[in-house]
Structure 1
Amino acid sequence: MNIGDYGHALIAVSLFNSYYSTDRITTLVRWAKHTFERSHIPVFDLPHAYTLSARKGHSPGSVRRARKEGRKLHNKIARIHAEEGIDSDAHRLLTWDDLVRNDDYLQLRVDVDRAFCTDACFRQACLTMADTLLDPEITDEDDRRAACFLAARYLLDELPLLIDLPSIIKCDSSVFLYHRAPSLLKQLFEGRFTLKPSDRQGYFILSDASEIEAADSY
């Protein structure tokens, strides 16, 4: 599918990531408003606490830091929406509280956990990606592996959005937009795992809202 064929877009942004400046998010918001019938920008605070805790083996105050950063990003996007005159449910934030009250998300989260437990290739891909989130100072092999399992929980919490977001938010089709293509996501959309994305779910790489790398669409 071409990107314009999707009725909905999820513009993925990350906490603690300077790539998502106010100017860049504003550009993405404007573009999505004119390209899709609906769009969401996810702001998930608590899942990021797993990576903060895992990064140095254990980080006290991870939940507090994640919530604080989540509020900052939430407020930044809300201001951008207000400045761009976006005040409808068609283009809005998607919060962690929205998901934990959503039965379809919770069922998909169970499916993701099941795949993590039963599919060795999927589990290893998750742990490999989680390892990139850790501090290189964690050199003890057992400590680093334990930290990988903790950091992987952040990935597992987000993966339902790449499996079947149309079921979660009730739309005909959706495309997940991000600025790079981690190996885990490439393998997922290439069908390497027992866990498969819905036919209604797409994934595109964005370097900017106006520059879509069509060759990297799945």
Structure 2
Amino acid sequence: MEFRGITRECDRLWSEGAMALVGISPFNSYFSTERIQSIIDFCEDGGRAVALFVPDDVTRFTLQARGYTKDEAVRKTSRQMRYLRNKMNQAMGARRLAILGCESLATNAAYQNRLAEALDRFETDDVFRRRCLDTTRWVLSAKDGEPVGLDAAMLGVQYLLAELPLFFHASEMIGSDVVFVYHQCPLLISETYQGELAGKVSRGQGFGVLRPHELAGEAAEQLQTHALQVPCPNRCR
């Protein structure tokens, strides 16, 4: 595996042993049991603390944006989460790592405050709103390349907004230095960390890209950030 922080500060936090908060997408086939295990093993090397983050119940918004009804999306998300948790448990083995999700963070005051802040900013900051919708359209079109309308993007963006507090402020929720780890970094995140897009990152918070060596280079660039590899229901084909 190869880790790269998206800024020098992110690299510093990682080198000094900050906790790794590993993002795992529910419908992304990249996250096989073996892949999850190799990510955990790499992050734990040297005694680093590791926790997992899964955007659980909010995944339904992406499914709804792709044409599923709310009830269908809820059922499909629930089934997939059971399947994913089984894979994570197998990957962890005897280890019992903390698994965070948007549902479990409902009682975390820091998460709720930062989520409210993101939702308010989405309504009042035109540049931020446009970047969020652009990122959502990229996610939704990743599988088939079809254009994504505003209604679908407005549904799907709820998934992204629920994740943003973890990307930028997880250190507040966990109470220690944290580097969020994923296999790709969307422009919205890199622009925020690098100061090109207005927005603050909490003290002790970092973001890093972790990729298998065999996917380094051009192949790794083709990986989709949060692409949910789920087919559209028959009615939207």
What TM-score, normalized to structure 1? Answer: 0.84
Shift in CA distance, 66/57, structure 1 to aligned 2, threshold 3 Å: closer
Shift in CA distance, 5/57, structure 1 to aligned 2, threshold 3 Å: same
Confirm or deny that 1:100 pairs with 2:106.
Answer: yes
Confirm or deny that 1:56 pairs with 2:47.
Answer: no
Question: How many residues of Structure 1 are paired with residues of Structure 2 in the alignment?
Answer: 204
Instruction: Measure the CA separation in 1 of the matches of 2:185 and 2:100.
Output: 22
- The within-5 A match list for 1:132-211 is 132-134=138-140, 144-171=149-176, 173-208=177-212
Q: Residue deviations 1:37-79, cap 9 Å, x none?
A: 3211112221110000001375651011111111111121112
- The within-5 A match list for 1:79-90 is 79-82=90-93, 85-87=94-96
Mark the runs of 5 or more structure 2 residues left unpaired by the alignment: 1-8, 218-237
Q: Residue deviations 1:68-125, cap 9 Å, x none?
A: 111111121112212xx313xxx32213332111111000101111211121111101
Shift in CA distance, 92/210, structure 1 to aligned 2, threshold 3 Å: farther
Instruction: Measure the CA separation in 1 of the matches of 2:173 and 2:138.
Output: 29
Q: Which has the higher contact order (CA 8 A, sep 6+)?
A: 2
Shift in CA distance, 188/212, structure 1 to aligned 2, threshold 3 Å: farther
Give the AA of the match of 2:101.
T
Deviation for aligned residue 1:137: 8.8
2:45 aligns to what SS in structure 1? helix
What TM-score, normalized to structure 2? Answer: 0.78
- Does the CA contact (< 8 Å) of 1:41 and 1:93 recur in 2? yes
Shift in CA distance, 208/92, structure 1 to aligned 2, threshold 3 Å: farther
Q: In the alignment, which of 119, 129, 135 is matched to residue 113 of structure 1? A: 119
Residue 29 of structure 1: aligned partner? 40
1:203 aligns to what SS in structure 2? strand
Q: Residue deviations 1:118-153, cap 9 Å, x none?
A: 2111110100111123356976x8xx1011011000
Question: How many percent identity over aligned positions?
Answer: 28
- Does the CA contact (< 8 Å) of 1:6 and 1:175 recur in 2? no
Instruction: Measure the CA separation in 2 of the matches of 1:147 and 1:200.
Output: 35
- Does the CA contact (< 8 Å) of 2:32 and 2:87 recur in 1? no
Give the AA of the match of 2:58.
P
Instruction: Measure the CA separation in 1 of the matches of 2:106 and 2:184.
Output: 26
Moved over 4 A (4+): 57-60, 135-139, 209-213
Deviation for aligned residue 1:36: 5.1
Give the AA of the match of 2:169.
D
1:106 aligns to what SS in structure 2? helix
Q: In the alignment, which of 113, 118, 134 is matched to residue 128 of structure 1? A: 134
Deviation for aligned residue 1:161: 0.3
